[in-house]
Chain A
Amino acid sequence: MSKVLEKIRNWSSAPGALGVLGLGLGVGLVIFASLGAFMVHANSESFCSTACHEMTYMAAEYKDSVHDRNRTGVRAACNDCHVPHAYIPNYLAKLGLLSDVWGHFVTHSIDTKEKLEAKRYELAKRVWLDMKSNDSRECRHCHNTTKMDPEKQTEKAQARHAKAKREGLTCVDCHFGISHKEPDGPGPQELGAADQ
């Protein structure tokens, strides 16, 4: 290690001083560009739905739901609902991936369909509470409520949305079990602060 340092020192005492600066610049570019590319890759539908077999169960349930296939072909894939759209929460979520790696390689917490079903309610509850706590931030990244045209919605939807607004509900309070199977147990509206 000290040999490498000495080499750098020898270079940099020569006219190659700028070379050391450039080296740092180059190393930085590679590292940060790699980080950025990793973030993009780890947010792709192809990564999420195929990298671990645990997620292929989730991906199979999602297939042909309205967020996958619909009239216009405008979709929301895994990351649109499940990866934070804000910078800091996004970085934190990526660090949180360690928990998934741990579960996949060490504890095997949901490595069979049976184990997944046994944990389904707990996992769903975790997502619901998270979405309730941030006012369905990920939903709202695509669905801009001020740009919704009530006149294009059904009367039932108009009435329900008005009611939800009055009662201070958030998207996931009603729109749950829409992309994955609904677990048995209390839904998002029944979950209160005590469940956090």
Chain B
Amino acid sequence: MARNRPLKLLAKLRGWTASKKSIVVLLTGFVASLAILGLTATTIVYTSTEEFCSTTCHEMTTNVAMEYKGTVHDKNRTGVRATCPDCHIPHSQVPLYIRKMGAVHDLWGHFITGSINTREKFEAKRQELAERVWIYMKENDSRECRGCHTAAKMDPEKQSEKAQARHAKAKKERLTCIDCHFAIAHNEPQGGVGPQELEVDRSLISKGAIF
């Protein structure tokens, strides 16, 4: 009997659509698409807020969010900030969707393996996690940094002489933002290599820009 239920529903639907109510079925589909798109978009917006990222799981609250507090991207002269999503969520449509699906991996770590559920475990994995972020940023030429910092709109004359020289050098040597500006929002891992020491397959750069 239970097997017949979907068929009955379909028959009912067919009954409606054979009558003048066919337009209602069309509209139902229309409204359903609004609900689906609306929910998807709302989920992406909501899960890309500082509040969600820094309070939903204690792994983020007690480690990275706490370390970020008071850094230049949190508090500065003008009060213009970059929060969690600005640096860690892709500023490009397709990579964004892929990253959001990848959040399933975070759920797995939180609920099943408990991979960084204590400060000790987090510290033990800090180098590995940092390297993962550095490599991603190197591969896509620091796309997320550039989401806010437009290099072509930087005024070198307003930068210190040291910064001007370093930026010129970085351009010559084809370095990317993260090669020098690392550990600026979270503690620097101790004892391991930095971004400049990490080898990234140069051919991945264009791929990284897409994914």
Contacts and interface: CB of A to CB of B under 8 A. Distances in A.
Contacts of B158: 70-71
A134 interface: no
Contacts of A15: 10, 14
Given A28-B34, A72-B154, A21 B29 contact: yes
Contacts of B75: 147-149
Interface string A2-16: 000100110111110
A59 to B, nearest CB: 14
A18 interface: yes
Contacts of A146: 79
Contacts of B169: none
A159 B59 CA distance: 40
A73 B22 contact: no
Given A17-B14, A69-B153, A29 B37 contact: yes
B150 interface: yes
Contacts of B41: 36
Nearest to B152: A73
B18 A9 contact: yes
A162 to B, nearest CB: 15
Given A5-B22, A23-B26, A71 B80 contact: no
Contacts of A145: 79
Nearest to A148: B79
Interface residues of B, number: 41
A81 B19 CA distance: 52
A176 B75 CA distance: 24
Contacts of B38: 32
A14 B15 CA distance: 10
A24 B79 contact: no
Nearest to A70: B155
A76 to B, nearest CB: 8
A45 B147 CA distance: 14
A20 interface: yes
Contacts of B34: 28, 32
Contacts of A147: 74-76, 79, 81
Given A8-B22, A73-B154, A23 B77 contact: no
A21 B32 CA distance: 9
Contact of B30 (A25, A70, A71, A142): A25
B92 to A, nearest CB: 13
Contacts of A32: 33-34, 37-38
B80 A73 contact: no
A164 to B, nearest CB: 14
A101 interface: no
Nearest to B147: A74
A25 B22 contact: no
A20 B23 CA distance: 9
B22 A24 contact: no
Interface of A: 5, 8-9, 11-15, 17-18, 20-29, 31-33, 36, 68-75, 142-149, 152-153
20 contacts: A9-B17, A12-B14, A12-B25, A15-B10, A20-B22, A21-B26, A26-B29, A27-B30, A29-B37, A31-B30, A68-B153, A69-B154, A70-B153, A75-B150, A142-B80, A147-B79, A148-B75, A148-B76, A148-B77, A149-B75
